[in-house]
Structure 1
Amino acid sequence: MKGFKKKIGLLHLWLGLASGIIIFIAAITGSLLVFEKEIDSTLNPDYYNVSEIGAEKKSLDYCVDILQKEYGVKEITRISTFSDPSRTIQIVGKDSDKKVHLFSINPYTGKVQASTLQKNRFFAVVLEIHRQLLMGETGGIIMGTSCLIFVFMLISGLILWWPKKIKNLKQRLKIKWNASFKRVVWDLHSTTGFYSFFILLIISLTGLFFAFNWFQNGILYLADGNNKRPSAKIENPTKADPGLIKTDFYQSIFDQSDSLFLYKGNMQIRMPADTINSILVLKENTERLIPHQSSAAYFDKYTAENIEARPYASFSNGDKLKRLIYPIHTGSIFGLPTKILALLVSLLAATLPITGFLIWLRKKTKLK
């Protein structure tokens, strides 16, 4: 057992030193992203709320027409509407140079309250760092590998923390603040790691779900028992014909979706990035405690006719699990309490590479 722990200790040490800075970055950016909506809506209220709730909303096509005529938008990629009457409509579109812009529109007046390049948004940059270190696909591999290492670090750390004798368990559960600096650092590293172990393991494993296709496919296979899941895209049945496009195109899609799924919810209209697939609409049920429970509907991108409707209840276990991964990872699964918990453990995770490095540095100095 002693030899096993020694080998685990060496792996824990060197893998920790190799991935420490990446884990620190992931933890800090992750802690910021936990309260992204709350922070961003406070700093940039015009993107989220209107100053006065009107009697009647403008049609989505009216809002899109303003963007096309006054802001040079050539292609609409996403429209987000919200059940909260004080919320703005958010529309993402591309200009003639293919640059992606985010527009926040007052639904009662059609006025654009705020706009920016999507890539310039603060939290868009934070998310890019969190996922790919601003290094594209290579950064994604580095971040995903570091996340995999962190899972091992958590498990190996628990093995190293576990006392040889049960009578020593009590002292492992608390930090001895009046001890030497070396002991305090050791306690901070091991004790905080123990208390945050379970939540950090869940956050790390759900992070792997986003990082690696093989991990995602494996989890979904376990949930469904097979690899056969309905495609998230459906081919468009009609051919391109400008004469088919309706004048109330987007509003028609919104109204049909609202009628298909009668619960109160936020809606997102996603235009296909290719010439083959149809429009996807997701309506999230905001009456449910757990977020991201969205039904799906598909529409012809030329005629706005409904092609297929998929209520959330009809989704497979794998698809339902897939929609739970994001709120679990971000801590929004049960609202404010779990978000606070996710923030705290993310900040604790950021301290682990620091205290681990100090422990190694002191040992190295002592050996010299």
Structure 2
Amino acid sequence: MVSNDLTKGWDSVEKKIKKSQFDEALVDLRGLDESGDHAMTWKLAGDCKKGLSEELGQKKAYREAVKHYKKALKMDPKFKDARVGLEGLQNEMLVEGVRERTIPKVIDDGTPTLFGIIAIPILVLVLLSGVKVISDGTLSQDSPAYDYTAVLNVQWVDSDGLFRNDAITIELYVDAAPIHVENWLGHARAGNYDGIRWHRIIDGFMLQTGDIEGKDGSGGYAYEFQGYCNGQVSTSCDQTVWTIPDEANNGVPHQPGSLAMAKTSAANTGGSQFYIVDKDGGTVPPSHLDGVHTVFGQVIDGMDIIDAMGQVQTDSGDKPLNEMIIKNIEITSEEKKGLLDYLMFW
């Protein structure tokens, strides 16, 4: 018997799929049915992967969608929606020239195929040679499937009074701080950061922004409910007090160019505000923030822009005197590959 909570959860996931919020929907599914006991969970996971394959054009997502649909049908052979999804996806893959398998089967119905006869001895030799499966090749459902980078397009007036349009490229640490990265991506994809001011600039320390509510550093909230309200564990609360759990003990220290979550001195109070550590100065790197504020990314191009932005004139409250905003944020993703991507033949 399926619980009402699970049914409501599936309905919520379907709504997110319709809005093309595929990554968020997958996170929700793992929380709803972590062990994958229900065919509907696998069908919806197939819908998510199908959506990602169409959005990103990645062949692996196509194949993962096929596996999920087949898993749903294995659990419930009469599941019409899963069969329709599978057949539609297979037709789409045929048109796009995407095969269901990158490498032929090693074993079919318990019998080694011709490819298997050749491949199995080689695989055994590889394993015996002590090949270590690196961390990003894990089979865990919870492991992030993609690496993300983001381009912050900023508009600002420099210390010479010149209006500038610049771009800052950031690598996001999805493995080290998955909750923070997903929260930040959610806000960015929704356009919540578009037009938001850099409200606090301290040269030689950091540049802060991301107040999607008050726009002056007084507000902001998490993109999705993560079980915390103003830092306190809770089952529900108003959206304006949603916060996320700290991931500050991830071993990633602050350094020039670090992207980190701004919050109060209390634990688990991060919402939408974030800061980027300045290039140099008496407080850089701000090691006193290590283990307190979560670092979840790093500037990989544009530190000269951060350095210049940090030198603008500010008032007594560290607010820039001239306009300085995030115009928009562009997100790019790249499929992660580990050794298991090449060893998983079946």
TM range (shorter): under 0.3
Structure number with bigger Rg: 1
Structure with greater helix percent: 1
Structure with greater strand percent: 2
